[in-house]
Structure formats: structure tokens, C-alpha cells
Amino acid sequence: MANVLLGVTGSVAAIYTRELFGDLNEAGYSVKIVATRAALYFFDPTVIAPRSAGERNRDVVIVDDDEWPGERYRRGDAVCHVELRRWADALVLAPLDAHTLAKLALGLCDNCLTCAYRAWDRSRPVVLAPAMNTLMWTHPATLRHLLQVAEDLTGRRPPADAATPEALARWLQEGPGRVRLVAPVEKELACHDVGVGAMAPRPNILAALGDLLSTAGTS
């Protein structure tokens, strides 16, 4: 089965990281997590159990401090974000918070995850599963950033009628590119606002990944 790099960012939905990691493992994927510093506020990386007895927790959950673990870089040292990109057949960003989405759209790469994204082989599948407060989701910057990320990953400018995140998700679903946007859903959020912004159900994320990998001929 495919190697999946699960990028976890600082959304409350990161509390489901352990469950999503388990779902991906049960589906047969080999999974590594790369988590932003903010994501660690919402889940404890030590509860992520390695899939095989030979693996250590730190081999499975990569954090920013793992990027440059020595006091000084020495020629020949591994570059963590490049090694992760080489290892992974697919990248799943779930949850993708507003802050990291903005970084991706602007090309910023100041942590291990955003560096891995910037170094990503764009011929390989990417699943985006945003999660944020409703007013953050409906802010004009969100659509602008999603459109830019979609164009960057597909090499094609989204059409004028992709004027909502939902329409953009349909365009990506129907197009030849290897990108899927799994839009958030409506519910009462952790902040007690009610509206769209909760991360999509985990089965939806797995279905998008499976669809991309089958199209790419990787299973």
C-alpha cells in the first residue's frame, strides 16, 4: 500500500489525529505524521502507536524540532522535509487551518510541514481537508488562498465559475489533477458558533485519498 504523509495543523480538529491515523493504518497505508507546533496543543504525539514493533514513536510523528536536530548542519546530514517528500506517495493535510493555508498560498515555508509541501512532487496526490471557524471559512482570503493552492498544485487556473470553495472542490474532483479539496461541514463548532467549518468526516477524507491513489495507479 501507499505511504501517506499526514500533515496536522493548529485547528481544534487536530484532536482527531489519533483516530485519523488509525483509520489510515486500518486501510492499509503506511503513515507518518508531520505536525506543526500549534497542532501539538490539540493532540499528544506520544499516544500515536507505531504500526510495527521496529518503529519508534519519533519515527512516526515528526515535529519541527526534528527538522534540524543537531547543533549545526553538517554536509551529508539528512534534510527531514526532503526525506519525507521522497518517502511519501501522497500528502493529506487534515486538519488544514487558516494560517497554514495562507502560508501554502503565499509559498511560505517556516516549519517542517510547509517545507515538505513546498518541496512536494506535484505529480503526487494531495488531499486538503480545511477546518476553521465559520467566519474564517467564509472570509474572502480563504477562497483566494484555496484558488492559489489549487492552481499551484494542478498547473491550471481554476475557471471563473469556481467562485466558492464547494465549486472549486467539484472542479478538482472532475479535473485531471491529483488534488482533492474535502470541504468542511456545518455543525456546532468547539467555539460554540454554529456553521460551516468543522473538518469533514474521516471517511470522506479516506475516500478522497483512495480515489486519488487509484487514479494515480498507487494503492
Output the CA torsion sign for 77, 80, 84, 86.
negative
Q: Looking at 115, 139, 191, 192, which residue is catalytic?
A: 191
Q: What is the largest distance, in Å, between two alpha-carbon atoms of the chain? A: 52
Q: Looking at 81, 112, 115, 145, which residue is catalytic?
A: 81
**191 is annotated as an active-site residue:** yes
First to last CA, the chain: 5
**139 is annotated as an active-site residue:** no
Task: Quote the radius of gyration of the chain (alpha carbons, Å).
Answer: 17
* Distant-in-sequence contacts of 41-47, Cβ < 8 A, 24+ apart: 41/10, 41/14, 42/10, 42/11, 42/12, 42/13, 42/14, 42/15, 42/17, 43/8, 43/14, 43/15, 43/17, 43/18, 47/18
Strands 126-130 and 179-181, bridge-based pairing? parallel
Q: Which residue has the cell 460554540?
A: 192
- Known catalytic residues are 81, 191
